[in-house]
Structure 1
Amino acid sequence: MSDSGERDHFSPLIVSDSGESGPPAIGITPKPVDFSSPSTAAIEFEEFSLIGPDGHASSQHVQPEHMEAFNEYLFENYNVQVNSLLGIFIVLFCGDYSPPKDELPFSIAGCIAIWKTMDDLEDGYDFWPFVDSVGSAGAEPLDPKILSDVENGEISNEVLFFLAKNVFTECEGISVCGQGRTLLVEFPEISAEDFAKRLDTLPRAITKLPFKLEFRNGPLELHNGPLEFF
């Protein structure tokens, strides 16, 4: 990945003896979200994103009051006791209760959400995503008619389908992440040596497409574990 690989660990929310948490010092406002497709549902906030101005995920640029409100939001809505940020991923450790799987978003505040349990944390679960930031081949040109569907930094499903069918023909999935700045392309898992050879054939960018390209060897481990979220 292009970021430094540093990990942010957010402390668990402190709850009063009565079991009730007080209101955050500064509120945060979730934007409307469409849960008709949980695999693409994204929760964003009016006040902040975990993706900073440089395009990297971090909490350094977020006001402490907003982080406090964010932790409380996760606790009240998803029973998240602890969350950990690494690159474009946020790992969320839930207690013994969490909403149904069709109410769990794919991404939160610009980062891909990985849903785990507190049992996983106690068992020493650790997540280190190995995503290659760029390919080694030249930039891939696209038909201008296809690029015309990319407006104001938004990419349509039609464009994603076109990329999957015509550019990344062996991929298993393409995700838009990092506050809409990165295309993460997942390929079937092969040996590290063979994947390195594959990277030599993959483009480092798509001409005139305002997205970074990152590639993964094997599917993302997003929603698994004892609660069987997905």
Structure 2
Amino acid sequence: MTDTAVGALPGRADRVTMRVIAGLAGAMALALAAGQATIAATCAWADSVTLSLLAEESLEVVPGAGVTSASIDSVRLTTDALAPGTRALFAVAAVLLGVTALAVGVALAWLLVATASGRPFRPALYRFSLVAGLALVLGPLLATALSGLASMQAAFDLDDAVGGILLPGFGVTSWGLTIPIVGLAVIALAYLLRRMEGLQRDTEGLV
């Protein structure tokens, strides 16, 4: 059984709406990718780079003022002494995030344009789910790993300059793990759709 467009095209209002959303998705993806490209260029070639690094330093508190303890857990600093290898790691991490945003945005825009044009929906949805899911899994995970390694190296290199408070640790944000989980769910959806399509072909004419 071949999957062909069924019935008429979506209504005019629906087609316009889908194309507008596709344009917005593409524009937002380009904006995000451009922002990450700017970060990558700054990390690679700027004279100085501003970083946020993990730190560990206890602060004194005034007794009886309502604060029982205080500490520093991150430091924002600007440096012109970052090693070329560390700069490269930060730059590549930013590029990966930009490519992720671009891949997901372009895939979503293509899916909406294909649907608005009356092309077969299920193959388009499968391809979108696979491309977007892989991008959401691989991009953030690799970017998190590279930026974590770069942060650790920067902490080693710059620790003496800030009084030894930097913590050579591997900081992982919740988004760095949540987005890949969403990507896995999208990939699972892609294979579920393909499996459902196969079952439909196998049972065609039996009922």
Return the structure number with greater strand share.
Answer: 1
Larger relative contact order (CA 8 Å, sep ≥ 6): 2
Do the two structures share a fold, i.e. TM-score over 0.5?
Answer: no
TM-score by length of 2: 0.19
Return the structure number with greater helix share.
Answer: 2
